[in-house]
Amino acid sequence: MEKVLEQLQPYLDKNMALTTALTLLEWDNETLAPLEGISNTSKAIGILSDEQFKALINDDVKNILKKLESKEEYNKLNERERAVIKQLRRTYRQLEAIPSKEYKEFCEFSAMAPSIWAKARAQNNYEEFAPVLGKLIEYKKRFANYRNKEGEKAYNILLDDFEEGITMDFLDDFFGKIKTEIIPLLNKVIKYNDIISKDYNSLSYTIEKQRDFCKWISSYIGFDFNRGILAESEHPFSTNLHNRDVRITTHYQEKNLENAIFSVIHESGHAIYEMGISDELTQTIVGAGTSMGVHESQSRFFENVIGRSYEFWKPIYPKLVSTFPEQLNSVTLEDFIRGINKAEPGLIRIEADELTYTFHIMIRYEMEKLIFGNEISLEELPKIWDDKYEEYLGMRPANPAEGILQDIHWSGGDFGYFPSYAIGNAIAAQLYYHMKSVMPFDEYLLHGDLKPIVDYLKDNVHQYGTMKNMRELLRDIMDEDLNVDYYIRYLKEKYSKVYHLETE
């Protein structure tokens, strides 16, 4: 048996090395590369993507997978090897029907498109981005079509790429419950909103000091700076080459204290996940976070569940005040906690609070459903976007930059990605209630000892990489499926407390 799996190794190695290169090229483009470089560099990216595609999708690998279908061969595999084969089969289902030439073109195009999006956003010009967006949608529709063997809807195929087994039916129910339960809460909160002041947040905060504090807080929650770096980019993100090279970015603004701090905590959550993947799995195809949803659950767990809690800030708020005494001396810990949890409908997703965040996602989900259901044209998109903001959040974007052009995701060809954020929120809440039941969670935070919390996540989630999918993780931790009720309970409890509402 050994032999059959060994034959696969060179292909897996090549795929790993090319993934490393492509990840670094993408990181570099977002953080450092000179303005005019991408036009040439994207040629190299196209070729490398093609090589990566061909490293796994070829007749040799197909034959090896075929051989491994026999029960006899399969029984010889250990757990890790079975996970590798399962993941490889999943990749096959995603890619093998797509002609390699088209895939290469798409990779090249989607590597360059974000720079066109960035320019269009800066110039507030949707028309400049529209044809690019149209082309990306066409690619994705065509790819979904190639793969469509069982009459599955295109958008379900895209959703499944980011979260195995998640469909429109599931999400309609998921968001339906949130709408029913959270819209009344949001309306109540808005009514009482004047009682919370967060004027402190828009005072002037030296960027150099923000940098130092953010680096410190990232380390405080568990980011290991021997295995990772914190850099700057327009749009905060995280990425990694393997479990010893994990990278996050943020964007500092002088007149916004919370922005960088919470984006760093968020990205550190992603990073801690990747740093926690076991050495046996890193640099293999099962050596990354298992899905976008689970990834977002970790970032949001750190950013919101922990990072916006009283217990988290109790031991460290004095450090923040001593970093910015002039601005914060008169802001009590209680004021600060209410400030960082203030809910206010706004137009920009990445600036949204926990309560309104899911509505931003719901809007994008509904738009993607329309786009991939062929019920909408490129020209209509901005208006429909604006209408939905008016419907759900009571505000209308004044221009495309604060409307449809605000997110980078579509420019990279990532459709079906946004719902992961909502799924992540729900998982984070579900984990939270479970962890509170098995450990002195609040005590740890109050004592500034986050290690047991990080260790629990490492032991139960991080180390497994892709060996368990989202539902398997939840099942093994708490013997339950994904359940949005926890998230609804979490929001109700939290906001009733922050706004002194009666618990319903």
CB of 14 to its own copies, least distance (A): 6
What is the rounded CA–CA span in Å between residue 415 and residue 409?
7
Residues 36-75 vs its own copies: string with x where CB under 8 A? xx-xxx-xxxxxx--x------------------------
What is the rounded CA–CA span in Å between residue 255 and residue 203?
5
Can you tell me which of 3, 34, 151, 503 binds its own copies, judged by CB under 8 A? 34
276 binds its own copies (CB under 8 A): no
What is the rounded CA–CA span in Å between residue 28 and residue 22?
10
Q: Are 308 and 337 in contact (CB under 8 A)?
A: yes
Closer of 44 and 333 to its own copies (Cβ) = 44
Closer of 163 and 267 to its own copies (Cβ) = 267
Can you tell me which of 14, 80, 388, 475 binds its own copies, judged by CB under 8 A? 14
Residues 171-210 vs its own copies: string with x where CB under 8 A? ----------------------------------------
- DSSP string covering 26-47, please? HHHHHHT--TTTHHHHHHHHHH
Strands 238-242, 228-232: pairing kind? unpaired
CB of 38 to its own copies, least distance (A): 8
Closer of 281 and 428 to its own copies (Cβ) = 281
CB of 245 to its own copies, least distance (A): 3
CB of 68 to its own copies, least distance (A): 23
Can you tell me which of 1, 4, 33, 378 binds its own copies, judged by CB under 8 A? 33
What is the rounded CA–CA span in Å between residue 140 and residue 440?
46
The answer to whether residue 502 is catalytic is no
Among positions 278-297, residues that touch its own copies (CB under 8 A) are: 282-283
What is the rounded CA–CA span in Å between residue 240 and residue 257?
27
215 binds its own copies (CB under 8 A): no
Closer of 267 and 402 to its own copies (Cβ) = 267
Q: Are 475 and 486 in contact (CB under 8 A)?
A: no
Closer of 245 and 311 to its own copies (Cβ) = 245
CB of 15 to its own copies, least distance (A): 10
Q: Which residue has the tokens 């750190």?
A: 302
CA 236, distance to chain mean position in Å, is 11
Closer of 284 and 290 to its own copies (Cβ) = 284
Structure tokens, 488: 């609804």
* Contacts (Cβ under 8 Å, ≥6 apart) of 255: 202, 203, 204, 205
Query: Among 269, 267, 266, 258, which Cα is nearest to 320's?
Result: 258
E strands within 319-473?
Answer: none
Return the range that interacts with its own copies (CB under 8 A); candidates 9-17, 80-88, 149-157, 348-356: 9-17
What is the rounded CA–CA span in Å between residue 439 and residue 450?
12
Closer of 102 and 225 to its own copies (Cβ) = 225
CB of 45 to its own copies, least distance (A): 8
CB of 44 to its own copies, least distance (A): 4
**Diameter of the chain measured on Cα atoms:** 71
CB of 55 to its own copies, least distance (A): 9
Among positions 216-275, residues that touch its own copies (CB under 8 A) are: 225-229, 231, 241-246
Query: Binding-site residue total for its own copies (CB under 8 A)?
Result: 41
Cβ atoms within 10 Å of 94's Cβ, excluding its own = 15
Can you tell me which of 1, 4, 7, 20 binds its own copies, judged by CB under 8 A? 20
Strands 228-232, 245-250: pairing kind? parallel
Any known ligand binding at 296? yes
* Contacts (Cβ under 8 Å, ≥6 apart) of 65: 85, 88, 89, 92
Can you tell me which of 1, 4, 7, 17 binds its own copies, judged by CB under 8 A? 17
122 binds its own copies (CB under 8 A): no
Residues 377-396 vs its own copies: string with x where CB under 8 A? --------------------
18 binds its own copies (CB under 8 A): yes
Which residue out of 30, 163, 258, 267 is catalytically annotated?
A: 267
Length of the chain: 504
Is the C-alpha dihedral spanning 231, 235, 241, 243 positive or negative? positive
Amino acid at 372: F
What is the rounded CA–CA span in Å between residue 335 and residue 49?
50
7 binds its own copies (CB under 8 A): no
Q: Which residue has the tokens 């060809």?
A: 413
Structure tokens, 199: 């004027």
Closer of 43 and 383 to its own copies (Cβ) = 43
Is the C-alpha dihedral spanning 120, 125, 130, 131 positive or negative? negative
CB of 299 to its own copies, least distance (A): 19
- DSSP string covering 70-88, please? SHHHHHT--HHHHHHHHHH
501 binds its own copies (CB under 8 A): no
Closer of 286 and 498 to its own copies (Cβ) = 286
Name the binding residues: 266, 270, 296
Residue ranges at the known binding site for Zn(2+)? 266, 270, 296
Catalytic residues: 267
Q: Which residues bind its own copies (CB under 8 A)?
A: 13-14, 16-18, 20-22, 24-25, 28, 32-37, 39-41, 43-48, 51, 225-229, 231, 241-246, 282-283
